[in-house]
Amino acid sequence: QQARFTGRTVIVTGAGSGIGRATALRLLSEGARVIAADISAERLAALEQSSGSGELVGVAGDVSLQADVDALVLAAGPTVDGLVNNAGIMDSFLPTAEITDEVWERVFRVNVTSQMRLMRAVLPGMVSAGFGRIVNIASEAGIRAGASGTTYSASKHAVIGLTKSTALFYGPKGVRCNAVAPGAVKTNIEAPFLSAWAAERLGPIMQTTIPAPAEPEELAASICWLLSEDSPNVNGAVLMSDGGWSTI
């Protein structure tokens, strides 16, 4: 395999499982120094076991907390070339009138605020270097309503706005910022796929339209393409990596 990331330092959040783990391993296999963040120290230890000879720095912490973001960026060192804002959580597939403040605030803190804070922290360095590659993980739920509950949909739509606006302001300074929108992927994400409310109303539609779930490695391939110099003219894009689900 071609080593597209030799000499590059890349932060990956939510690297202990699923898409983040596959992305961290792919980056390591292509020569990157990977700063792997996860709320679970146990999952990071398991990643370290599988990581072979690559340079991996595991940082346990909650990316929804500013202090943990500061510690993560400090661990990465002065130069961060790439950032994969991947950590994310689901809601319970609940519609607007059933949203609790607790779920709304937690989902937004983890799925949106963490991405803003990490970008805010690394962008000044990327601007001085004239080089930065950011990939934010959105979702099928970032472009329409049928893939999750209201809170998660709203949070992933926000990820796309955050991505496009960052691309606009920082593209001229050498930073490319794109989003990958996965469809269904075989990971450990908590997916009470349909609440009773949604199963009754959406079950038949959902079941006939979702393509077979992808492997996390398929998502890692999409993410690494956007991080690499194979996508030089791509900025502010939302790459659907969903087996064609969005075409339906």
Question: What is the Cα–Cα distance from 163 to 175, expressed in whole angstroms?
Answer: 12
Question: What is the Cα–Cα distance from 59 to 61, expressed in whole angstroms?
Answer: 6
Least Cβ distance, residue 132 to ligand NAD (angstroms) = 20
Q: From the list 75, 189, 206, 237, which residue makes contact with ligand NAD (rule: CB under 6 A)?
A: 189
Question: What is the Cα–Cα distance from 201 to 137, expressed in whole angstroms?
Answer: 28
Taking CA atoms, 8 is separated from 16, 90, 150, 246, in Å, by 20, 31, 37, 33
Strand-pair partners of 241: 182
Nearer to ligand NAD, 190 or 229 (CB): 190
Least Cβ distance, residue 99 to ligand NAD (angstroms) = 17
Taking CA atoms, 89 is separated from 17, 53, 187, 189, in Å, by 12, 30, 12, 7
Q: 144-173 mask for ligand NAD (x: CB under 6 A)?
A: ------------------------------
Question: What is the Cα–Cα distance from 139 to 137, expressed in whole angstroms?
Answer: 7
Least Cβ distance, residue 18 to ligand NAD (angstroms) = 2
Nearer to ligand NAD, 63 or 94 (CB): 63
- Contacts of ligand NAD in 91-130 (CB under 6 A): 110
Any catalytic annotation for residue 170? no
Task: List helix spans (H) across 59-174.
Answer: 66-76, 101-108, 114-129, 150-170
Total residues interacting with ligand NAD, rule: CB under 6 A = 29
38 binds ligand NAD (CB under 6 A): yes
Catalytic residue of the set 93, 152, 170, 245? 152
The residues annotated with a catalytic role in the active site are 152
- Where do contacts with ligand NAD occur on this chain (CB under 6 A)? 13-14, 16-20, 37-40, 43, 62-64, 86-89, 110, 137, 139-140, 182, 184-185, 187-189
